[in-house]
Amino acid sequence: MLVDADRFHGLYRSTSQAPTTDTSSIGKAVSLGCMRAESDQARWLIVEHVSLRNFRSYGELELALVPGVVLVTGPNGVGKTNLLEAIHVGSQGFSPRTRAETRLVRFGERIARVRLRGRDGSGFETDVEVEPGQGKRVRLNGAQLPAAEELRLRLSVLAFTPDRLAVVKGGPIVRRAYFDRMLGRLFPSRAELALEYGRALAQRNRALRRVRAGESSRAALEPWTSQVAALGTQLDEARAELVGLLAPAFGAQAVALGLERPSLRYEPRGLTVEELDRRLEHDVERAATGAGPHLRDVEIAAAGRELRSYGSQGEQRTAVLALVLAEAGVLGERRAGPPLLLLDDVFSELDEGRRARLLALLPPRGQTVLTATEPEAYPPGAAAPALVVAVTPGAAEAT
């Protein structure tokens, strides 16, 4: 599916050479659901208080936050990213930066703890304890959750980190994983579809290895071939539906941020038992399934150029930001309120005009926490942040 978008909204002031927008068009928001969210304040996700103990560089921290844009400033290396990471751990149950949980615990300590208090239709309190070797202990409103992942079903949060550039710069496996996770956020009933397909695929590949080694007959492949075909077709169709849903919002956001003729493309082809049977000899020889959605890709392009190979660093960053903002808009539409946005080092490689336009594209209600090395990175002429938090080594306080 290919979508070109050429509509966007303003709410910025800039003297750069980037395309300008009428600042009177505040009401013409392109992000889906933003206007609906304005009439449903109860669903805005707001973190009102952050409490940390022995998390990364923070020995102890108590920090009050407010709705709107929260600007977190400080030199590189003082702990701005650690603060955003802590909010993500406390609201989603995992770090967006690492799966090595030992890194979350302050050096020399045994347990890290993140507690959040806020509202998203009703009040909530989360309590996440990380103890390496013992897993995580997660509580929501005082009740122990059987798995940290359950926080994601209750609290809607999206993050941008510089590592996310891999969604555009990296190989197809990175994009498949990114869009499959997004599929679970936007269609919770399909959250396990990619995992189910992966398990069936792994079983078929094991069966192929046994056939190649002469340890099993080809008849043993048939149940797994049927499952791979059925689940592969479902996953292919779900991805196509997701891209079709996301593409208009992505195009609009990307145009607003300065990309020319942005597009998302995913070509669904389905998967049949007959197709797998036709290539059986080749699959046995390789001991791997050579057709299916595990080999497909989402193309992210601008001006007819595939951005992975032909995009500049700035264009790639812009595309990832457009994806995050597009998903935020769609989530806001489907959940009647925008998610919490955590945007780390988001102004880097964006000129002043694009920085202003980025701020204009944020959901008009809700909460966004973003970092910058200095307050001056915040574009002049943009609406002032609701709160500025200054970070120094091991500390953070409102200014």
- Percent share of the chain, pLDDT over 90: 79
Tell whether the model's pLDDT for residue 30 goes beyond 50: no
Whether residue 273 contacts residue 149, with contact meaning beta carbons closer than 8 Å, is answered with no
What integer pLDDT is reported at residue 99 of this predicted model?
86
Other residues' Cβ atoms within 10 Å of the Cβ of residue 289: 25
Tell whether the model's pLDDT for residue 250 goes beyond 70: yes
| Choice among 27-41, 178-192, 320-334 with the minimum mean pLDDT | 27-41
Strands 157-160 and 143-144: unpaired
What integer pLDDT is reported at residue 239 of this predicted model?
98
Tell whether the model's pLDDT for residue 307 goes beyond 90: yes
Whether residue 391 contacts residue 74, with contact meaning beta carbons closer than 8 Å, is answered with yes
More confident residue, 22 or 390: 390
Task: Report the distance separating Cα 108 and Cα 111, nearest Å.
Answer: 10
What integer pLDDT is reported at residue 84 of this predicted model?
98
pLDDT bin (cut points 50, 70, 90) of residue 36 is: very low
Q: Looking at residues 275-281, what average pLDDT do you find?
A: 97
Q: Looking at residues 17-33, what average pLDDT do you find?
A: 34
pLDDT bin (cut points 50, 70, 90) of residue 43 is: low
pLDDT bin (cut points 50, 70, 90) of residue 337 is: confident
Q: Looking at residues 147-165, what average pLDDT do you find?
A: 91
- Alpha carbon dihedral 115, 104, 81, 324, in 10-degree steps, equals -80
- Percent share of the chain, pLDDT over 70: 89
Tell whether the model's pLDDT for residue 231 goes beyond 90: yes
Q: Looking at residues 162-188, what average pLDDT do you find?
A: 95
Whether residue 211 contacts residue 280, with contact meaning beta carbons closer than 8 Å, is answered with no
pLDDT bin (cut points 50, 70, 90) of residue 33 is: very low
What integer pLDDT is reported at residue 93 of this predicted model?
94
What integer pLDDT is reported at residue 154 of this predicted model?
87
Whether residue 101 contacts residue 134, with contact meaning beta carbons closer than 8 Å, is answered with no
What integer pLDDT is reported at residue 31 of this predicted model?
39
Q: Looking at residues 282-306, what average pLDDT do you find?
A: 97
What integer pLDDT is reported at residue 9 of this predicted model?
29
**Digit-coded pLDDT (tens) for 91-149:** 999 999 988 889 999 999 999 999 999 998 889 999 999 999 888 999 999 999 998 88
- What pTM was computed for the model? 0.85
What integer pLDDT is reported at residue 117 of this predicted model?
98
Q: Which residues contact 290 (CB under 8 A, 6 or more apart)?
A: 279, 282, 283
Task: Report the distance separating Cα 381 and Cα 78, nearest Å.
Answer: 28
What integer pLDDT is reported at residue 52 of this predicted model?
98
Q: Looking at residues 353-374, what average pLDDT do you find?
A: 93
What integer pLDDT is reported at residue 334 of this predicted model?
86
Which pairs count as long-range contacts for 275-283, CB under 8 Å and 24+ apart, including other chains? 275/229, 276/225, 276/228, 276/229, 277/225, 280/218, 280/221, 283/208
Continuous segment of H or E residues that includes residue 49: strand 46-55
**Residue 52: strand pairing partners:** 61, 114
Domains identified in the chain and CATH numbers: 31-156+337-399 (3.40.50.300)
What is the gyration radius of the CA atoms in the chain, in angstroms? 23
DSSP 339: P
**Mean residue pLDDT across the chain:** 88
Which pair of tokens denotes residue 106? 């302050």
What integer pLDDT is reported at residue 18 of this predicted model?
34
pLDDT bin (cut points 50, 70, 90) of residue 65 is: very high
pLDDT bin (cut points 50, 70, 90) of residue 322 is: very high
What integer pLDDT is reported at residue 76 of this predicted model?
94
